[in-house]
Amino acid sequence: MPRLSPARRHPRWTLAIVCIGTFMLLLDVTVVAVALSDIQTDFGSDLGSLQWVVDAYTLPLAGLLLTAATLGDRIGRRRIFLTGMALFTLGSLACALAWSPLVLDLTRAAQGIGGALLFGVGLPLVGAAFPEPRARASAVGIFGATLAGATAVGPLIGGALVDGPGWRWIFLVNVPIGAAALVAGWLRLAESRAATARAADWPGTGLLTAGLLALLLALIRGNADGWLSALVLGLFGAAAALLAGFVVREAYAAEPMLDLRLFRSASFTGVSVGAWAISATLIGATNYLGLYLVNSLDYSPFQAGLRFLPLTVASFIAAPIVARLVDRVPPRVTVGGGLALAAVGMGLAGRLTGGSGWTALLAGFIVAGLGIGMANASMSQAALAAVDSSRAGMATGTVNTMRQIGVAAGVAVLGAVFQHRATADMARQLAAAKVPHGQATAIANAVGSGAGTRVADAAPAALRPALAAAARAATASALDEILIGGAIAAGVAAIIALLVVSRAPSHAPSGSAPADRPADDLDPESAPAGAAH
pLDDT tens for each residue of 473-524: 999 999 999 999 999 999 999 999 999 987 655 444 443 333 344 433 322 2
Give the separation between CA 503 and CA 357, rounded to whole angstroms. 43
CB 218 within 8 A of CB 232: yes
DSSP letter (8 states) at residue 277: H
**What are the DSSP calls for 492-503, one per residue?**
HHHHHHHHH--S
Alpha helices of 388-463 — where are they, by DSSP H? 392-432, 437-448
DSSP letter (8 states) at residue 264: G
CB 76 within 8 A of CB 519: yes
Q: Which amino acid is at 106?
A: L
H or E stretch covering 193: strand 192-193
Model pLDDT for residues 233-269, shown as the tens digit of each residue: 999 999 999 999 999 999 988 888 888 888 888 889 9
Task: Report CA-CA distances (Å) from 522 to 31, 142, 509, 517, 519.
Answer: 43, 28, 27, 8, 8
518 backbone dihedrals φ, ψ, rounded to 5°: -60, 140
Task: Report CA-CA distances (Å) from 449 to 145, 276, 419, 446.
Answer: 34, 25, 6, 5
DSSP letter (8 states) at residue 281: I
Q: Give the length of the chain.
A: 533
Give the separation between CA 277 and CA 271, rounded to whole angstroms. 10
CB 533 within 8 A of CB 69: yes
H or E stretch covering 342: helix 331-349
CB 360 within 8 A of CB 347: no
Give the separation between CA 146 and CA 358, rounded to whole angstroms. 27
DSSP letter (8 states) at residue 55: H
Each of the 533 residues of the chain gets a pLDDT tens digit; together they read 444 444 345 788 888 999 999 888 888 887 888 888 889 888 888 788 888 888 889 889 888 888 888 888 888 889 999 999 999 999 999 999 999 989 999 999 999 999 999 988 888 888 788 877 777 777 877 777 777 677 667 888 888 888 888 899 999 999 999 999 999 989 888 887 776 667 778 898 899 999 999 999 899 888 888 889 999 999 999 999 999 999 999 998 888 888 888 888 888 999 999 999 999 998 889 889 988 998 899 998 888 888 988 988 898 888 888 877 777 888 888 899 999 999 999 999 998 988 888 999 999 999 999 998 888 878 877 877 777 766 666 777 888 889 889 988 998 999 899 999 999 999 998 888 888 888 888 888 888 888 888 887 777 777 788 888 998 999 999 999 999 999 999 999 999 999 998 765 544 444 333 334 443 332 222 333 233 33
Give the separation between CA 55 and CA 83, rounded to whole angstroms. 22
| Cα dihedral sign, 168-169-170-172 | positive
CB 455 within 8 A of CB 249: no
